[in-house]
Amino acid sequence: MRQDAIAILGGTGDQGLGLALRFAKAGRPVVIGSRKLERAEEAAAKVRQEVPDGDVEGRTNEDAAARAPIVILSIPFEHFASTVKRIRDKLAEGQIVVSMGVPLATAIGDGAVRTVGIWQGSCAELVKTLVPDGVQVVSAFQNVSAHRLQHLAEEVECDVLVSGARAPRERVMALCALVPGLRAVDAGPLANARIVEQITALLIGLNVRYEVPEGLGIRIAGLPAGNSGA
Amino acid sequence: MRQDAIAILGGTGDQGLGLALRFAKAGRPVVIGSRKLERAEEAAAKVRQEVPDGDVEGRTNEDAAARAPIVILSIPFEHFASTVKRIRDKLAEGQIVVSMGVPLATAIGDGAVRTVGIWQGSCAELVKTLVPDGVQVVSAFQNVSAHRLQHLAEEVECDVLVSGARAPRERVMALCALVPGLRAVDAGPLANARIVEQITALLIGLNVRYEVPEGLGIRIAGLPAGNSGA
């Protein structure tokens, strides 16, 4: 396992692919995971096309999960629990799993501007109940526009509200500095994912009402200058 | 009832007083409501001290509710339902009630960085079930710092996410233009108050972690220029 590698499960989807592009462009080794190996390899080839010197490989989700100290879950909410159950045996103590999940009501055939309730409180807290002891869970990146991530020439104007236990949270906050425009904001304990995940549904509604297909972001106003809390 | 008047129930509290100051300074007649008449009159006197030509009066909540087409509820969550029940007979068809309420867990003796669940979905939706037919309910102003509202010399850097039915929502959005720095954002139907109210608890946690006692705000990033949706 390379210590600077980042695994992105569901890296074939819009948001996961966007993060893969940005992290590869920043010079970090990226492992894209997918249920099917060939789809992961296709996504890796797409990233290399945009970032010719990028260090990117495609793997099955199970393989990808074992190949990086930080494993980002960028998968539709309805596949979250089953995916975590499928990779849990590959996870080892000290690894960090990052939940980008948002319980959009699309999971039950309703709209993306609403959410469903989760017994554990949030998608991130659901993940926390499923990973082995010693594996840390952090919530981040839910509010970042997939479209803006994929447009490498432009900055991504968005704050990333990162929540979880202090040490892993700070490691995930440091990843935000790899993407021009992103700013990490210390959103405290993992339970705050309950609020952060909901904001995505609000932003999706705003994207529609204001006709901004590229996707809006969120900024916390009034933070001390230069302070990303990391 | 003067058509340009704004009533603020709980206008003796920090946030309500801040809005009273700002609206008075913008030249709008303001009616401050409180449970006790003398406390309302004291608050009105405070506003006149800061805004000498302000048109401000203090009334009981019941009287204040009948004296303006827009009635803003700026009261602690634990007193919301009882206050609305007490004023409901004073409300008439066509009036707009604005809920600033946030179900902070302080209502049950827990902390302000968490919320309690509301059966109706949000404080604003709870209010909606209590007002007479024909009275409109709009959710707004929850995320605006009381401290920043009260400092008249400075702009209030914050977006106001306004939700409710279209016509009353647009009337409340127009109020935001009275306060320098505030920008109204069209947050769609009233049910979105479920998300907007939660953001206040998140901001309170951020105020503590980043040591910003003046209070942080929120901005939606990427909105079309000059577009407040009103």
Residue pLDDT, tens place only, A65-83: 999 999 999 999 999 999 9
Task: Check residue A194 and give its pLDDT.
Answer: 98
Residue B136's nearest CA partner among B166, B160, B159, B161 is B166
Q: Closest residue of A to B203, CA-based?
A: A220
Quick: pLDDT tens for B146-184: 999 999 999 999 999 999 999 999 999 999 999 999 999
Average pLDDT, chain A: 96
At A205-222, the pLDDT tens digits run: 999 999 999 999 999 999
Q: A123-130 vs A80-87: helix axis angle to the nearest 10?
A: 30
Given an 8 Å threshold on Cβ–Cβ distance, is A157 in contact with B222? yes
How far apart CA A148 and CA B172 sit, in angstroms, is 32
Which tens digit of pLDDT belongs to each residue from B36-94?
A: 999 999 999 999 999 999 999 999 999 999 999 999 999 999 999 999 999 999 999 99
Distance in angstroms (rounded) separating the CA atoms of residues A17 and A20: 5
- Band of pLDDT at residue B227, cut at 50, 70 and 90: low
Tell me the pLDDT band of A230, cut-offs 50, 70 and 90: very low
Q: Compute the average pLDDT of residues B201-218.
A: 97
Which amino acid is present at A209?
Answer: R
State yes or no: pLDDT of A229 exceeds 50: no
Q: Is the CB of B116 inside 8 Å of chain A's CB atoms?
A: no
Q: Tens digits of per-residue pLDDT, B91-105?
A: 999 999 999 999 999
Q: Is the pLDDT of residue B136 over 50?
A: yes
What number is the ipTM of this complex?
Answer: 0.91
Place of tokens 């604005």: B98
Minimum-distance CB partner of A205 among B188, B215, B224: B188
CB-nearest partner of A221 from B199, B217, B224? B217
B7 touches chain A (CB under 8 A): no
Q: Report the Cα B143 to chain-centroid distance in Å.
A: 9
Of the candidates A76, A75, A65, A140, the one whose C-alpha atom is nearest the C-alpha of residue A104 is: A76
Radius of gyration over every alpha carbon of chain A, rounded to an integer in angstroms: 16
User: For chain B, percent helix, then strand, then coil, each to nearest 5?
Assistant: 40, 20, 40
**Burial status of residue A89 (CB atoms within 10 A of its CB: 0-12, 13-18, 19 or more):** exposed
State which amino acid sits at residue A88. Answer: R
Nearest Cα residue to A140 out of A95, A84, A196:
A196
CB B37 within 8 A of CB B59: yes
Give A211's contacts in chain B (Cβ within 8 Å). Answer: 224
B191 touches chain A (CB under 8 A): yes
Tell me, what's the pLDDT at A43?
98
Enumerate residues 6+ apart whose C-beta is below 8 A from A201.
Answer: A102, A104, A105, A112, A113, A114, A115, B195
Tokens 């704004």: give the residue. B6
Chain B residue with minimum CA distance to A155: B222
State whether B229 and A210 contact (CB < 8 Å).
yes
Q: Distance (Å) from the C-alpha of residue B62 to the closest C-alpha of chain A?
A: 34
Through-space distance between the first and last CA atoms of chain B, rounded to whole angstroms: 25
Q: Looking at beta carbons, which residues of chain A come within 8 Å of B113? A: 188
Residue A8's closest CA among A54, A53, A55, A75? A75
Q: Which residues of A touch B186 (CB under 8 A)?
A: 206, 209-210
**What pLDDT does B1 receive?**
86
The answer to whether the predicted template modeling score (pTM) of the entire model surpasses 0.90 is yes
Q: Are B164 and B172 in contact (CB under 8 A)?
A: yes
If residue A159 lies in a helix (H) or strand (E), which one and from where to where? strand A158-162
Assess contact for A5 and A67: CB atoms under 8 A. yes
B157 near A CB under 8 A: yes
Helix, strand, or coil here: A148? helix
In angstroms, the CA B170 to CA A63 distance is 52
- Chain A residues touching residue B209 (CB < 8 angstroms): 186, 188, 229
Question: Across the interface, which of A114, A188, A196 has its CB nearest the CB of B209?
Answer: A188
CA B145 – CA B212 distance, rounded (Å) = 11
A143 CB neighbour count, 10 Å cutoff: 22
Give the separation between CA A129 and CA A125, rounded to whole angstroms: 7
Helix B80-87, helix B123-130: angle, nearest 10: 30
**Which two structure tokens, joined as six digits, stand for A220?**
């916390």
Give the N- to C-terminal CA distance of chain A in Å, as an integer. 25
Which tokens belong to B165? Answer: 């039915």
Written as one string, the DSSP assignment of A3-72 is: TT-EEEETTTSHHHHHHHHHHHHTT--EEEEESSHHHHHHHHHHHHHHSTT--EEEEEHHHHHTS-SEEE
DSSP string, B78-128: GGHHHHHHHHGGG--TT-EEEE----BGGGGTS-TTSB---TTSSHHHHHH
Q: How far apart are CA B192 and CA B137, in angstroms?
A: 13
Residue of A nearest to B221 (CA): A217
Dump pLDDT digits (tens) for A107-149. 999 999 999 999 999 999 999 999 999 999 999 999 999 999 9
**Which range, of B100-104, B126-130, B210-214, B222-226, averages the lowest pLDDT?**
B222-226
User: Would you tell me how many other CB atoms lie within 10 Å of the CB of residue A8?
Assistant: 33
pLDDT in the model for residue A225: 81
pLDDT of residue B80: 96
Query: What average pLDDT does the segment A50-77 reach?
Result: 98
User: Which three-class secondary structure state does DSSP give residue B8?
Assistant: strand
Which of A173, A164, A171, A158 is CA-nearest to residue A228?
Answer: A173
Distance, CA of B213 to CA of B60 (rounded, Å): 31
